[in-house]
Amino acid sequence: MHWNFATFWAGRVRLLRGAAVASLASPAFGQAPAPAAIATLPRDLSPFGMFLNADIVVQAVLVGLVLASMLTWTVWLAKTLEMWTARRAARAALAVLNQARSLAEVNARLADNRGPVAQLVRTAVHELQLSPGAAPEGVKERVSWLLERVEAVAARRIGRGMGILASIGATAPFVGLFGTVWGIMNSFIGISAAHTTNLAVVAPGIAEALLATALGLFAAIPAVVIYNFFARSIGGYRALLADGSALVMRLLSRDCERASAPLSRAAE
C-alpha cells in the first residue's frame, strides 16, 4: 500500500512538471508566435511598400498626386524665371521712358526691345503716324484704347500656368480623399473576408488610405502657396505696365502739344 501511494505522487509530479514546461513555451510567455500569425503581420509599412501593396485604384490615385506635385514645382520654376526676366526688362524700359523727351526718341532707344513696355511705345508711335493732322484729343483717346489692349495681352501671357496651380490646389485634397475612402472600404472588405478584427489585418489598408490623404495635402498646399505668391507678383507686374502706359501717354501729350503749337501761333 505504501509503494502504490509513492508511485501515484511521483506520477502527479511528472505531469505537473510537463504542464509547466509547456506553458513556458507558449506565446503568452514571450515566445515567437505561430507561423500563421507571422503571415498576417505587415512586412513593410514604408510609403513605397504601402504603394506596392495598395489596391490598383489607390495606386492610380497616388501616382496622379505625385505627378501633380511634380507639375506644381515645374510651374514654380518656370514662372519664377519668367517673372524675374519680365520684371527686369520692364524696369529697364521704364527707366528709358523716364529719361526720354519724345516718343520718337524712346522708340529709337527701344528698337531692339521686344518687351510689352516697348510694345506700348511702338503702338503709340504707329497710331500717331496714322493720324497726321488729327485732333490731339482724338489721338490720345485712340492710343489709350490700344494701350489697354496691349496691357491685357501682356497680362494674359504672363499669367499662363496659373490655372494649373489653381486646379491642383483645389482638387488634390479631394482626389486624396477619394483614395482614402477607397482604401478604407477595401479594409472593411478584408475584415469581413478574414472574419477577424485583428489589428494586423486592419492596419495596412488604413495606412494605405491615409497615405493617399497625405499625398493629396502634399500636392495641394504648395500649389496654393505658389499660386498666391505668383498672383501678387503678377499684380506688381501689371502695375509696371500701367506705369509704362502712363509714361507713354505723357510723352504723347507732349508731342501733340509741340505739333499743335505752331498752328496755334499761326492762327493768331
User: What is residue 67's predicted lDDT score, i.e. its pLDDT?
Assistant: 95
> Which CB contacts under 8 angstroms, 24+ apart, belong to 124-127?
124/248, 124/249, 124/251, 124/252
Q: What is the pLDDT of residue 243?
A: 93
| Residue 264: per-residue pLDDT | 42
Give the per-residue pLDDT at 185.
82
Q: CA 233, 239, 241, 243 torsion: positive or negative?
A: negative
Q: What is the pLDDT along the chain (268 residues), one digit of tens a residue?
A: 444 545 554 555 455 455 444 444 444 444 444 444 444 444 566 666 676 777 788 888 889 999 999 999 999 999 999 999 999 999 999 999 988 888 888 888 988 888 899 999 999 998 888 887 778 888 888 999 999 999 999 999 999 999 999 999 999 999 999 988 888 887 777 777 767 666 666 676 777 778 888 999 999 999 999 999 999 999 999 999 999 999 999 998 888 887 765 444 433 4
Gap between the Cα atoms of 217 and 229, Å rounded: 18
Residue 113, CA distances (Å) to 92, 94, 110, 117, 235 in order: 10, 12, 5, 9, 22
Give pLDDT tens digits for 166-219: 999 999 999 999 988 888 887 777 777 767 666 666 676 777 778 888 999 999
What pLDDT does residue 217 have?
A: 93
Q: What is the pLDDT of residue 101?
A: 87
Q: CA angle 238-93-229, nearest 5°?
A: 30
Give the domain ranges of the chain. Answer: 47-262
How far is residue 189 from each of residues 81, 192, 193, 213, measured CA to CA in Å? 50, 5, 6, 20
CA distance 196 to 194: 5
Is pTM, for the whole model, over 0.75?
Answer: no
Q: 51 CB contacts (<8 Å, ≥6 apart)?
A: 59, 62, 208, 211
